[in-house]
Structure 1
């Protein structure tokens, strides 16, 4: 029993000693911090100054978000084309199926180079009396001063190259060659990359809602561009969705005219034969008359079927147009987006204080030990 009690006392004394050491260490650290309080104040002042400079240098950004609820691709057998087919006959039908392109590809369309090239040519109102293209406006947006410092070597090299190479820097929608390739200059590629960062679209897989976000330094420009992106996105999807139906409609219209001409020719040939052989009663005449009548009836049946299919195709073009419900329209933002300037200032002050404290508490000792080892 005595040995057990002595063991407990030893453990208790050891724990008390450890607690005292921790308390002493914390007090020592606290005393060191108090001793360098003037240095900490200076560090906080320097951090405050740098934070203010950085916060002022970063231009304000305004973000506009537009939310769409588009109609997804599905089987439309009971639509306008189905209704037209039921009136014109059960044998008349067009190929139904799932759409090749639906709203799930909105993000890919918005970030595609042809889409951004067309968008860059749009006019945006900068002021009440001033209108410029989006491509020109991109040159008006400012960047932090360190962006110019980092990009200065590239600007110098580009300026030297421009003295020897003549280059057309204008962006237009005529950059697509006959082979379907797009030829862009280096400056144009940089602007397309900038637009890809400023304009984005995402689709919620659960609700199928499409969200389009646009970020610019001017709130009105951001709202105008967001509205234009939504409209152009709708046009792209409508063109993709109705392309096959329009192609079918054009083909059937051409086939309809050909069948009508063939029917009119067979009808005229039959009528002319009857007029020229009206009073002749011969078996050969009757056989030829019956053959011409069958040709005319066959031509009429084909002509009638093609006419019915043309009506169904015309209805299908309208049916294939998707419906877009704008849940949240483009609204001019009043407050800038992104990190607040106060956060930048507080972050730099906190970082400066932490660096000074860490250096005085640990950094100097580590440096002295390193010098002793090296010596």
Structure 2
């Protein structure tokens, strides 16, 4: 019995006028169930094969909270210092903290990426840790087989690459040491690492989510940990730059005055010991000069010691604190590809493809029969 026919063998169209004949549709699907089943299974197997072929991608993340309350708690130090006549605001100025919204910009900066790329990490195909720079340099060195292919099959492309390449040293383009000059290979490596790292900031909760995606689980977690540590170090350095410069200046002056104070004290004591039993106007004048010089350096020395303590408190006050809400963990399962997702997607597409194929064939037969009639 042919398709789309009733018990008498008359043709029953799937579409009659502008209506769909559901009885014929169910009959078509029933007769084409094997085609639908095979299509579903085949597509699901292809999807599973694709999921197994695609390289795994792992994700490691850390969630930190820039502790804004730390500054408020350290305001108590400012209150105690004011009682002693110390103005901490003059030491730290009116600087405001760095917004977490620019953390991603800091991570994407060249100095940050340079430090990150020079951090030793694990590689599955290497016996010991090495930096991403060293690994990239090692992988760019062609082997014997690669050289054979380069100068035989890929000879035209090798010649074109040689003509286009620029072997000049990028550092020779400028004598300004404040400029960052990168070659193309390093710039590509920078872009690759930038694409691996993402930073999300939630203004409502204040949480900063740092995520790193990579091909190896352990290596990805090591990069995420190093990124988190470097970010905290950079933020602390940025926010305490002014007060640390002030502290360094005061410490340098303090050490100079300390040396001068100890020298004048030693001279005064030596003079007193040498003229202990001597009475005279000349002795009194010499003693007074040394004593005045000693008092002057002592006052300066004590003042600088006080300023040094103020500067240390200012550095402590200005140093931001970070709370680790979610530490970095080594991922156990890849985030991509999801084999279950591929299987479900393959089953759905395979089923739909089978149904569309069976119904489409029935529609074509209906059109041919109508034209023939």
TM interval, short-chain normalised = 0.5 to 0.7
* 2:320 alignment counterpart: 322
Is residue 110 of structure 1 aligned with residue 143 of structure 2? no
Q: Deviations over 1:208-249 (max 9, x none)?
A: 122222222222112222221111111111111221111111
* 2:32 alignment counterpart: 36
SS at match of 1:353: helix
SS at match of 1:201: strand
Structure 1: segments with no counterpart, 5+ residues:
1-19, 142-154, 171-175, 273-277, 370-375
SS at match of 2:96: coil
Distance 2:351 2:252 in 1: 80
Would you say the 8 A contact 1:40–1:353 is kept in 2? Answer: yes
Distance 2:317 2:309 in 1: 12
* 2:244 alignment counterpart: 246
**Structure-2-length-normalised TM-score:** 0.65
Distance 1:317 1:327 in 2: 25
Is residue 189 of structure 1 aligned with residue 168 of structure 2? no
Q: Deviations over 1:164-214 (max 9, x none)?
A: 4365999xxxxx984544333333333222222322222222221222222
Is residue 124 of structure 1 aligned with residue 121 of structure 2? yes
Distance 1:169 1:118 in 2: 21
**Structure-1-length-normalised TM-score:** 0.65
Q: How does 1:327-338 map to 2 (within 5 A)?
A: 327-338=325-336
Distance 1:189 1:138, change over 3 A: same
Residue of structure 2 aligned with 1:357, choices 355, 358, 361: 355
Distance 1:78 1:168, change over 3 A: same
* 1:311 alignment counterpart: 309
RMSD: 4.6
Would you say the 8 A contact 1:81–1:313 is kept in 2? Answer: no
The answer to which of 32-41 and 325-334 deviates more is 32-41
Offset at residue 123 of structure 1 (A):
0.5
* 1:58 alignment counterpart: 54
Distance 1:131 1:62 in 2: 19
The answer to which of 39-48 and 329-338 deviates more is 39-48
* 1:70 alignment counterpart: 66
Would you say the 8 A contact 1:120–1:133 is kept in 2? Answer: yes
The answer to which of 105-114 and 217-226 deviates more is 105-114
Aligned length: 314
Offset at residue 55 of structure 1 (A):
1.0
